């Protein structure tokens, strides 16, 4: 039995979705491609995910859980040092956006493909974006930044731009440095 076959079926399907949806786009990936990648039958696939929308929502939730866990762990590790958390995040964005295979923010990508606001994935995207923005607001509050909520929104827009900058080929260190400088300018530090 291979390592893939030892994983629970649902996890294998989600792993295939994470890999292929991110690399190729949600609309471009067929159920058949995911069925083959997960080494499952169609019946098994549809037993776990009755519709593509169900799988898209689960994919987005996995991506959101991963980012929440990472940010939460780093905030706990650097408790009391909000500037260090923000610097860490800038480094993560800069580094990730310049790695081979980086295709942008998975939530922004999915939002571009999901036109229907009633789609279950849309709610996950909106909720995750609000959570991430709230993390920035809390950190800015801890730093004593005035108008922290508005500044957090601006920092998020800068983050989005940094991801695009890295994706189109800029140097990781430069992207991280520019993101940090831009964020400092926004928050007045």
Q: Where are the beta strands (DSSP E) in the chain?
A: none
Domain 52-187 fold: Tetracycline Repressor; domain 2 (1.10.357)
Are the C-beta atoms of 182 and 113 separated by less than 8 Å? Answer: no
- CA 166/CA 145 separation, integer angstroms: 28
- CA 182/CA 178 separation, integer angstroms: 6
Burial of 130 (0-12, 13-18, 19+ CB in 10 A): exposed
- CA 37/CA 181 separation, integer angstroms: 42
pLDDT per residue as tens, the chain (189 positions)? 455 557 899 999 999 999 999 999 999 999 999 999 999 999 999 999 999 999 999 999 999 999 999 999 999 999 999 999 999 998 898 888 888 888 889 999 999 999 899 999 999 999 999 999 999 999 999 999 999 999 999 999 999 998 888 778 777 788 888 888 888 898 887
- CA 67/CA 53 separation, integer angstroms: 21
Cβ atoms < 10 Å from Cβ of 23: 11
Neighbouring residues of 97: CB distance < 8 A, sequence distance ≥ 6: 104, 162, 163, 164, 165, 166, 167, 172, 175
**Residue 153: its H or E element:** helix 148-167
Return the structure tokens found at 110.
């999915």
Domain 1-50 fold: Arc Repressor Mutant, subunit A (1.10.10)
What is the domain partition of the chain in residue ranges?
1-50, 52-187
Instruction: Give the model confidence (pLDDT) of 82-108 as tens digits.
Output: 999 999 998 898 888 888 888 889 999
Instruction: Give the model confidence (pLDDT) of 6-28 as tens digits.
Output: 789 999 999 999 999 999 999 99
What is the DSSP code (8-state) at residue 30?
-
Q: Helices marked H in the chain — which ranges?
A: 3-6, 9-24, 31-38, 42-48, 52-77, 82-96, 106-113, 120-142, 148-167, 172-187
């Amino acid at each position: 039995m291979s390592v893939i076959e030892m994983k629970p079926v649902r996890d294998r399907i989600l792993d295939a979705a994470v890999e292929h949806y991110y690399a190729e786009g949600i609309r471009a990936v067929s159920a058949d491609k995911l069925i083959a990648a997960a080494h499952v039958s169609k019946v098994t696939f549809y037993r776990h995910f009755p519709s593509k929308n169900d799988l898209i929502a689960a994919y987005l939730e996995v991506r959101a859980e991963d980012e929440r866990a990472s940010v939460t762990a780093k905030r706990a590790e650097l408790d009391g040092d909000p500037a260090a958390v923000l610097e860490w995040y800038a480094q993560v964005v800069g580094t990730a956006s310049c790695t081979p295979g980086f295709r942008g923010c998975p939530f922004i990508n999915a939002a571009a493909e999901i036109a229907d606001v009633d789609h279950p994935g849309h709610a996950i995207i909106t909720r995750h974006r609000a959570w991430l923005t709230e993390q920035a607001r809390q950190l800015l509050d801890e730093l004593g930044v005035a108008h922290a909520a508005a500044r957090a929104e601006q920092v998020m827009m800068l983050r989005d731009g940094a991801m695009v900058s890295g994706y189109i080929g800029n140097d990781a260190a430069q992207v991280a440095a520019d993101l940090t400088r831009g964020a400092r300018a926004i928050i007045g530090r």
